[in-house]
């Protein structure tokens, strides 16, 4: 597995495994399969309600802890400094780990600076190794960066050829913050995976449409974290290191018509607060 170099000097694998929508036993089994075929970067979040299952999968894998990289995320309602500090400890306890490799602020709402400060303290205390953000756009980062001691290593944002914000990606790269692509396959968007541009490249390289799209991410310099329950897809999504797109194929993928966001951003903390109150992260199985 090839890696991306982060602004902290650390490296991350160029493809990770997303666990949104995977719960309980299904999550554990999918994770074990992912480890078996070579994934080492795992993406979860407090709000996915599967951190216990992710922790069990890691424990059952038998892979040395230092070879696995776990990302989790704090939800905006936990952002006030004190709540964030507690939420980091609760995340560690649900995952059954001594440290989290990468902890992100899930959305740019609420007391972002308070939460970020709690994450920086967790780095000092050895509970978190690296800090990142998610769904932050240029203006959110311009407010946050002057207040940071530990710069965010990445910004996990929606990126796919059918939802491509190139200027935001270029901005991140100019700030030496790695763009990480959530919903890299447009959440399995059939229109994207059957697009003639994608199909032609798939045909040229004897690869599947999903492999073409994932290769596009990594050649653009974006770390993709596709999710899947399928044993075939999990293998396929990591088998993208033995070919390269031509410049014109990459260009054509970058210029596909832009569709809708998979999860359109709702501005405002209130909506997220309501969502949070329906969930009790510590009650997950
Ligand atoms: N930070 C955020 O706000 C945020 C938001 C959303 C997601 N995420 C993260 O991003 C990860 C990925 O997002 P996602 O899982 O929603 O979307 P995705 O990776 O774009 O797509 C997943 C969908 O594509 C299908 N799929 C996967 N591999 C395939 C292949 N090789 N061929 C055809 N279909 C394939 C899957 O179905 P099968 O199960 O049938 O393969 C599933 O329906 C999440 O798991 C989560 O970790 C973060």
Indicate if ligand 1 lies below 6 Å from the C-beta of 18. yes
- Does residue 63 carry a pLDDT above 70? yes
- pTM value is 0.96
Name the residue at shortest CA distance from atom 11 of ligand 1: 18
Indicate if ligand 1 lies below 6 Å from the C-beta of 236. yes
Dig out the tokens for 270 from the structure: 């209130």
Name the residue at shortest CA distance from atom 25 of ligand 1: 188
- Does residue 229 carry a pLDDT above 80? yes
Quote the ligand 1 centre to 248 CA distance (angstroms). 26
Q: Which domains does the chain have, with CATH numbers?
A: 14-187+221-235+267-277 (3.20.20.100)
Q: Which of 48, 109, 116, 281 is catalytic?
A: 48
How many Cα atoms sit within 13 Å of 24 on the Cβ side? 4
| Positive or negative: CA dihedral 224, 266, 264, 253 | negative
DSSP annotation of 146 reads G
Among the listed residues 162, 161, 163, the one whose alpha carbon sits nearest the alpha carbon of residue 135: 163
Name the residue at shortest CA distance from atom 37 of ligand 1: 228
Per-residue pLDDT of 118-149, as tens digits, reads 999 999 999 999 999 999 999 999 999 999 99
Contacts of 169 (CB under 8 A, 6+ apart): 157, 159, 179, 220, 221, 222
Per-residue pLDDT of 13-38, as tens digits, reads 999 999 999 999 999 999 999 999 99
**CA–CA gap between residue 159 and residue 186 (Å, rounded):** 8
Dig out the tokens for 78 from the structure: 């936990």
Is the distance from CB of 222 to CB of 181 less than 8 angstroms? yes
Quote the ligand 1 centre to 186 CA distance (angstroms). 7
Among the listed residues 103, 189, 175, 187, the one whose alpha carbon sits nearest the alpha carbon of residue 137: 175
41: region left, alpha or beta (phi > 0 left; psi from -120 to 50 alpha): beta
- Does residue 266 carry a pLDDT above 80? no
**Top mutation candidate among 185, 193, 260 for ligand 1, by most atoms within 8 Å of CB:** 185
- Catalytic residue flag (residue 48): yes
**Top mutation candidate among 20, 234, 240 for ligand 1, by most atoms within 8 Å of CB:** 20
**Angle at which helices 112-124 and 81-95 pack, to 10 degrees?**
50
| Positive or negative: CA dihedral 124, 129, 134, 138 | positive
């Amino acid at each position: 597995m090839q890696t991306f170099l982060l602004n902290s000097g650390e490296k991350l694998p160029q493809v990770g495994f997303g666990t949104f929508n995977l719960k309980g036993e299904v999550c554990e089994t999918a994770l074990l399969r992912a480890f078996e075929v070579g994934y080492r970067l795992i993406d979860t979040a407090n709000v996915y309600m599967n951190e216990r299952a992710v922790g069990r999968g890691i424990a059952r894998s038998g892979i040395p802890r230092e070879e696995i990289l776990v990302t989790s995320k704090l939800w905006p309602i936990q952002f006030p400094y004190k709540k964030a500090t507690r939420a980091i400890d609760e995340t560690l306890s649900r995952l059954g780990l001594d440290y989290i490799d990468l902890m992100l602020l899930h959305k740019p709402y609420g007391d972002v600076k308070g939460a970020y400060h709690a994450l920086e303290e967790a780095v000092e205390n050895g509970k978190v190794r690296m800090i990142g953000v998610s769904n932050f756009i240029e203006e959110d980062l311009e407010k946050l960066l002057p207040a940071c001691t530990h710069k965010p290593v990445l910004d996990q944002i929606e990126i796919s050829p059918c939802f491509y914000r190139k200027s935001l990606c270029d901005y991140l790269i100019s700030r030496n913050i790695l763009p990480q692509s959530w919903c890299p396959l447009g959440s399995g968007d059939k229109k994207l995976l059957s697009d003639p541009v994608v199909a032609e490249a798939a045909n040229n390289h004897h690869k599947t449409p999903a492999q073409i799209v994932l290769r596009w991410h990594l050649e653009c310099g974006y770390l993709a974290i596709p999710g899947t329950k399928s044993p075939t897809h999990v293998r396929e999504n990591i088998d993208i290191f033995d070919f390269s797109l031509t410049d014109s194929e990459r260009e054509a993928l970058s210029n596909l018509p832009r569709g809708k966001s998979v999860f359109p951003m709702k501005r405002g903390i209130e909506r997220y607060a309501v969502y949070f109150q329906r969930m009790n992260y510590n009650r997950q199985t």
